[in-house]
Amino acid sequence: MADYKMTIGGEMIDSAQTLDVINPATEKVFATCPDATMEQLDAAVDAAQKAFRDWSQRPIDERKDLVRQLAANVAKHRDDLINLLVTEQGKPISNATKEVEFTSYFAMTTAALDLSPEVLRDDEQMRVEAHYKPIGVVGAIAPWNYPLLLAYWKVFAALVAGNCVVLKPSPYTPLTTLKAAQLFNDILPPGVLNVVSGGDELGRWIVEHPGVAKISFTGSSATGKKIVAAAAGTLKRVTLELGGNDAAIVLDDADPEAIAEKIFWTAFNNSGQICMAIKRLYVQDAIYDRMCDALTKLAQTVTVGEGSDEASMLGPVQNRMQFDRVRGIIEDTKQKGRRFLTGGDVPEKPGYFIPVTLVADAQEGDRLVDEEPFGPILPIIKFSEVEDVIARANASEYGLGGSIWTSNVERGSELAAQLDSGTVWVNQHSVVLPDIPFGGAKNSGLGCEGAAEGLKNFCQLQVVNVAR
């Protein structure tokens, strides 16, 4: 097995205990990673605190230049990172390629953001400026669906803002994150970026650690609530990007055949394991059957298989826990007597494979509609009145994203403003870019990532008020 180590204070560090890493396409252990001790976390936080003294004082242009060098290093080692992503996460080669390329692009875009002081008032009485100061040590906790991109998007923003980082990858997908840190070690000063691997207990230690000033977390809403409670003792700043149950509303003036491909891949890309994927599809009754038919035809062309097979368009669900959850939702849907257009039968073979599953005539009250499946299954729900469907979409405890699909863009924009979501799209969905802020409403999160607004989430606001 390859040797994967943690990065602490610029050194490659092992641990006496290890965690198995499973290939979700085979269910076999193919590598191990260190399982950090509390003492090793203390060392990582201490290294970050010491590095912060110099890093925070460096001109921001120097910090940006180093982040650009990180982007170049990702591009240089793209093949190694792609292969590792495919094996530990399960996604097809094409998806892994996009993730690696997006990671480099996100680094470059983040390095172009501005944190200059803002003049709030300038008159004969006073000049008032808003300054954005680094906070200190950022504890970044990353998920398993996009283990490289979502981990390092946090890191790039934190570093540009002048912070140092202790990063924890998911125990399901730690290897790409650990590998990237090793690639970055010759670029960044020791202690600026530390990566420690371990299970849920390590995450709790990071959140509670008195030397960590801010937590940036992407993951489930249930875990996000625990983080808020645990961070309260030290009044840590917290940014949370949590779960979603995004509703897409298709109005009867839309063309089902023209929009089916966009809707399908927004729901099923990465095997549905995207927080802002379409997870509830509401279709107006006049075009309901056409929409169902168009999506069914697309689903029948999709190949599900090992990510390493270039013919695969979708890979397995990433881990056993998520696999069992999606299977449970499928069984509940069958018991409700809903109509399966495709899928629904999980193959008895190695790997966490679930076929593309489309379910017609689902209703609120079904687990499939009320919960976030986070897998390759989509309910298609019929509606008649627009006012009613807006209310039904908003009834969810989540509020990450939503979309309106219509030939009347002006009407779509008006209806979009009525959805209780952090982001609402018209005639598209899941378009997230590093120069546009992204965050959730309700149980879908606190704060935002991306653009200047996201960068400021890694800063302490300081108002400088000078009397004339």
Residue type, 405: W
Residues 63 and 117 placed together within one structural domain of the fold: yes
pLDDT digits (tens, 9 = 90+) for 7-26: 999 999 999 999 999 999 99
Gyration radius of the chain's alpha carbons: 23
Residues 102 and 208 placed together within one structural domain of the fold: yes
Q: What was the pLDDT predicted at 251?
A: 98
Q: What was the pLDDT predicted at 448?
A: 97
Q: Into how many domains does the chain fold?
A: 2
- Greatest CA separation for the chain: 77
Task: Supply the DSSP string of 61-82, one letter for each residue.
Answer: HHHHHHHHHHHHHHHHTHHHHH
Determine the average pLDDT of the residues in 177-195: 97
Cβ atoms within 10 Å of 341's Cβ, excluding its own: 20
Residue 116 inside a domain? The answer is: yes
Residues 134 and 25 placed together within one structural domain of the fold: yes
- Checking if the pLDDT of 1 tops 90, the result is no
- Checking if the pLDDT of 273 tops 80, the result is yes
Residue 146 inside a domain? The answer is: yes
Extract long-range pairs of 226-229: CB within 8 Å, 24+ residues apart: 227/141, 228/446
Residue type, 317: V
Which neighbouring-strand residues pair with 118? Answer: 130
Residue 438 inside a domain? The answer is: no
Residues 204 and 269 placed together within one structural domain of the fold: no
Residues 356 and 301 placed together within one structural domain of the fold: yes
Residues 460 and 420 placed together within one structural domain of the fold: no
- Within 8 A by CB and 6+ apart from 276, the residues are 244, 246, 400, 401, 423, 429, 430, 432
> 23 vs 15, 20, 163, 263, CA distance in Å?
22, 10, 34, 29
Residue entry with tokens 């910090």: 63
Residues 380 and 424 placed together within one structural domain of the fold: yes
Determine the average pLDDT of the residues in 255-280: 98
Q: What was the pLDDT predicted at 3?
A: 74
| Cα–Cα distance, 359 to 381 (Å, whole number) | 9
* Full-model pTM: 0.96
Residues 335 and 224 placed together within one structural domain of the fold: no
Residue entry with tokens 């089902």: 256
**The domain containing residue 321 runs over which residues?**
246-433
Residues 379 and 286 placed together within one structural domain of the fold: yes
- Burial of 131-149, coded b for 16+ CB within 10 Å and e otherwise, reads ebebbbbbbbbbbbbbbbb
Whether the CB-CB separation of 451 and 434 falls below 8 Å is answered with yes
pLDDT digits (tens, 9 = 90+) for 156-165: 999 999 999 9
Determine the average pLDDT of the residues in 427-438: 97
> What CATH number is associated with residue 158?
3.40.605.10
> 138 vs 41, 107, 186, 219, 439, CA distance in Å?
13, 17, 21, 17, 18
Residues 234 and 250 placed together within one structural domain of the fold: no
Burial of residue 460, with CB atoms counted within 10 A of its CB: 0-12 exposed, 13-18 middle, 19 or more buried: middle
Cβ atoms within 10 Å of 429's Cβ, excluding its own: 24
Residue 286 DSSP one-character state: G
Residue 44 inside a domain? The answer is: yes
Residue 400 inside a domain? The answer is: yes
Catalytic residue annotation: 241, 275
Residues 217 and 349 placed together within one structural domain of the fold: no
> What CATH number is associated with residue 428?
3.40.309.10
Q: In what order do the strands lie in the sheet with 126-134?
A: 118-122, 126-134, 459-467
Q: What was the pLDDT predicted at 244?
A: 97
- Checking if the pLDDT of 196 tops 70, the result is yes
Residue entry with tokens 């168009």: 294
User: Mean pLDDT, the chain, as a whole number?
Assistant: 97
Task: Supply the DSSP string of 247-266, one letter for each residue.
Answer: EEEE-TTS-HHHHHHHHHHH
Query: In 3-state terms, what secondary structure has residue 7?
Result: strand
Residues 380 and 462 placed together within one structural domain of the fold: no
Q: What was the pLDDT predicted at 2?
A: 59
- Within 8 A by CB and 6+ apart from 378, the residues are 267, 268, 272, 278, 279, 281, 295, 357, 358, 359
Residue 1 inside a domain? The answer is: no
pLDDT digits (tens, 9 = 90+) for 39-77: 999 999 999 999 999 999 999 999 999 999 999 999 999
Q: Where are the alpha helices (DSSP H) in 77-174?
A: 78-89, 93-110, 149-160
pLDDT digits (tens, 9 = 90+) for 234-253: 999 999 999 999 999 999 99
Q: What was the pLDDT predicted at 413?
A: 98
- Checking if the pLDDT of 31 tops 80, the result is yes
Residue 373 inside a domain? The answer is: yes
Residue 329 inside a domain? The answer is: yes
